[in-house]
Structure 1
Amino acid sequence: MRTDIPPATSGRQVVIVDDEPDFARGLARLICGHFDDVQTRVFDSGRAALQALGEQPAQVMITDLRMPEMNGMQLLAKALHAHPELSVVLLSAYGTVETAVQALHTGAYDFLTKPIEPEQLFRVVLKGLERSRLLEENSRLRQLVEQRDSRFELIGEGPASQRVRRTIAAIAQSDYTVLIRGESGTGKDLAARPIHR
């Protein structure tokens, strides 16, 4: 169930999940008071948070470890499966070293114990936002490189060039071993790139 914090619409977003609504709203106020460009969304269950993340992604999720229905570890695994760029911070009043290590091995970005020092919270949120931004940028750049590499740049639109393009496309779909021969500078590498991908 959603609490009374208005939905975020743009900018950097932090999702807070805790079955203690007053605590979650307090975190939201701290974060919004410290960061001008960060919006928060507060949920009292993992299920509601996952649904909201599916509708509108966030960069950071702060979740309590102990909650009914879906605990923080389960939420962590499901959220990262659907949103690998999300920086997830687990909170617990009962934090142990073993629990923190397990959370980090599951993919948590950080683990904080309650009560939380505001400066520590701000540092973790800032680093989580930056991590998510870098992961999103990396993903975007990889897609650009893949798109660029998927088009091979042969000059010419004549019948011979079109025939070469069709041949390269057909060979690229097969498992045949191919030897490309030609004079130096004729573009053998341009033909080989789409075949060997």
Structure 2
Amino acid sequence: MTAPSVRVGADGVARCAWVGADALYERYHDEEWGVALHGDRALFEKLTLEAFQSGLSWITILRRREGFRRAFDGFDWHRIAAYGDDEVRRLLADDGIIRNRAKIEATIANARVLVAWLDAEPGGLDALVWSHAQPRRDAAPATLAAVPAQTEHSRALAQSLKSRGLRFVGPTTAYALMQSAGLVDDHVAGCWRAV
């Protein structure tokens, strides 16, 4: 027997079953996931959080999002780009975030890429990400099992981000970004947010 794709919450609202019964997850699902997100800083934050999520559940990141914002100076890439060894040590000791050296160092490296890129081309990250939006579906995915982990669009987005020098941006991470930033709508049939 397969797991259900939709779950009715205590509030009587049908949502994608991955939400579970967590109120924070419900708000994220209802207000953010699949909603068009624009802006270089907002997309840099989301891309960074998706990279930290790799290998973990999204709720783990969501519960620490404010800690990430504090620790990474509100995702101001100019400030992050200036981080050195002291800041890396500070971040590795910060229990408000996921303390993974490779991901921390990738965030700093990505911020340095953005300084060089976006100072010359403001809005460039937004434009690049949104140039990979998938065509709108005629119908919602029938089940959670029908939702892919990556697509040709996410593979192309990952390649475009990597060609700019960004790290921790594989096709699965890129697809998660596309879902969370509204480039694709993966709310399943029966969910109140589904197309």
- Give the TM-score category using the shorter length: under 0.3
TM-score, normalisation: structure 2:
0.22
- The structure with more helix, counted as a fraction of residues: 2
Higher relative contact order (CA 8 A, sep 6+): 2
Q: Which has the larger radius of gyration?
A: 1
